[in-house]
Structure 1
């Protein structure tokens, strides 16, 4: 035989009394008289067939059964309150779908993301990482962060972050390097952009070295291989500040080159929604600030 539903008011009376362990304070919280509160608790005890409180000269003490029941009820009321707050919100979130180069997400965006959420609580940002090859229209994205020169056809492009590229490697490899010419004896890890190493060699005024290392489709993979001692990687330094600061990667030569910058892109054929504009302005403002602290 099923038990009849327990009265909500009696459960609330018990939860408040158990939390305060004082009937007077519990009655004040619920805006009822102490007699009414005591009546609700006795009603609940009768329904459950157990004793919930031992009356003391000052306050009450929970029975063993009440000690087990209280945390369950307390958590349930908290969940109900949270659900009601969400349901009654008058400012629903605006979803913004953003694609971003994984290197940028890891090295630049994630350390600053809490700041964006605090400044724009009404924007529900949804991130999707990519390796610089992306189709905004087919993937249904509001915007995407890409690396390059900002000359993509049909896109409105806003510069977000600059960075210089330089060789980096593991500490175990760095001690073998005295001059750029020493790179001839080591694997030079490569990206799909074939002109990067030749441009760096030109800046370093080094001839006769050809990059022959493994090819990777992301700077994150390049950095991981370099940190593991697999060779030398040419990386955007600003995206790996933490690795350089903490010594996982070292920059053996103070020679850097510009290969492009990070851009926020969106389709020109679509009007810029307000939450997308908020994201764009925040990104631009962050780029003008001092680099984020560790």
Structure 2
């Protein structure tokens, strides 16, 4: 039996309120009243049987369930916009569609994208998120940012950056009643894990630090998106295994700290990939050059 989809208006209200963390700002964006947003969110919560928002010291915060739900909803609306653009635009010479992982888009690419738009106002960038490999044969996506070793048949792969692996946590957790002075102190903390290709990160780092790998099997919390794992670390739920591209902005802004000085180089990296047969139109050439230069600067 196919599950009934929840209200589209409720999903729009949820996505806007989650992005702004404000019902007032979401109402202004969607040109409705704050009361309407509240009603739509309440109805959506009733449909799903899940609470999505909580009030914390007059601030609005997402529940853990909402944090897991949001990337998929955001990606769905992005796909709707892309489909509409393809339907209505006959000339796509200035529309650049890039596919990447939801977590990388949220934590690394989107904070930098305004700089590209300022430098190239004539190029309309569309970001679509997916964990699946792109089927370039369909012609919907111009390029993808993917993690690997750079060897994909029929594709041009341009190196962007490498990652390092190292534990991260909230400042409050690092200096709390169970401080993190040395790696052995991890035995007293909840470890946060990410699936989807990152399952082995903790074991690799613990081995490099000279600690028993079975520490990674102690009771912890697992997430299917590294973006959600990082947010859980920011919220003080436990210690996450960070990767440079996903945590550098949060470290710079003081939301995360690095309790130890041991970092493990990853054996792969991020690449911009595109079909060799159409890898060099002006819009993609400009984006590639930006990613290799200013795109790698701090967000």
Q: Same fold (TM over 0.5)?
A: yes
Name which of 179, 194, 201 aligns with 2:206.
201
Worse-matched range after superposition: 210-219 or 182-191: 210-219
How far apart in 2 are the matches of 1:226 and 1:240? Answer: 10
Corresponding pairs, count: 200
Q: Within the alignment, does 1:106 sit opposite 2:113 as a pair?
A: no
CA positional deviation for 1:263: 1.1
Structure 2 match to 1:160: 160
Q: Within the alignment, does 1:135 sit opposite 2:134 as a pair?
A: yes
Structure 2 match to 1:277: 285
Question: Conserved in 2, the CA contact under 8 Å of 1:160 and 1:287?
Answer: no
How far apart in 1 are the matches of 2:139 and 2:190? Answer: 36
How far apart in 2 are the matches of 1:161 and 1:103? Answer: 16
CA positional deviation for 1:271: 4.6
Name which of 242, 250, 264 aligns with 1:235.
242
Q: Could you state the TM-score of these two structures normalised by the residue count of structure 2? A: 0.60
CA positional deviation for 1:164: 1.4
CA positional deviation for 1:108: 2.9
Structure 1 match to 2:181: 178
Alignment RMSD (CA, Å): 2.5
CA positional deviation for 1:264: 0.6
Encode CA deviations 1:169-223: one digit per residue, 9 max, x unaligned.
1223212212111112222111222221111012111114233422222221011
**SS state at 2:220 partner:** coil
Question: Conserved in 1, the CA contact under 8 Å of 2:159 and 2:271?
Answer: yes
Cα gap change, 1:281 to 1:100, in 2 (>3 Å) = same
Structure 2 match to 1:222: 229
How far apart in 1 are the matches of 2:270 and 2:128? Answer: 16
Q: Aligned runs of 1:1-294 on 2, under 5 Å?
A: 94-131=94-131, 133-137=132-136, 140-175=140-175, 176-192=179-195, 193-207=198-212, 208-211=214-217, 212-259=219-266, 260-286=268-294, 291-292=297-298
Encode CA deviations 1:71-114: one digit per residue, 9 max, x unaligned.
xxxxxxxxxxxxxxxxxxxx996111001223332333233322
Whose radius of gyration is greater, 1 or 2? 1
Long gaps (5+) in structure 1: 1-90
Question: Conserved in 2, the CA contact under 8 Å of 1:136 and 1:267?
Answer: no
**SS state at 2:261 partner:** coil
Question: Conserved in 2, the CA contact under 8 Å of 1:111 and 1:292?
Answer: no
Q: Could you state the TM-score of these two structures normalised by the residue count of structure 1? A: 0.61
How far apart in 2 are the matches of 1:177 and 1:148? Answer: 32
How far apart in 1 are the matches of 2:118 and 2:290? Answer: 12
Cα gap change, 1:139 to 1:220, in 2 (>3 Å) = farther
**SS state at 1:280 partner:** helix
How far apart in 1 are the matches of 2:263 and 2:209? Answer: 9
Long gaps (5+) in structure 2: 1-90
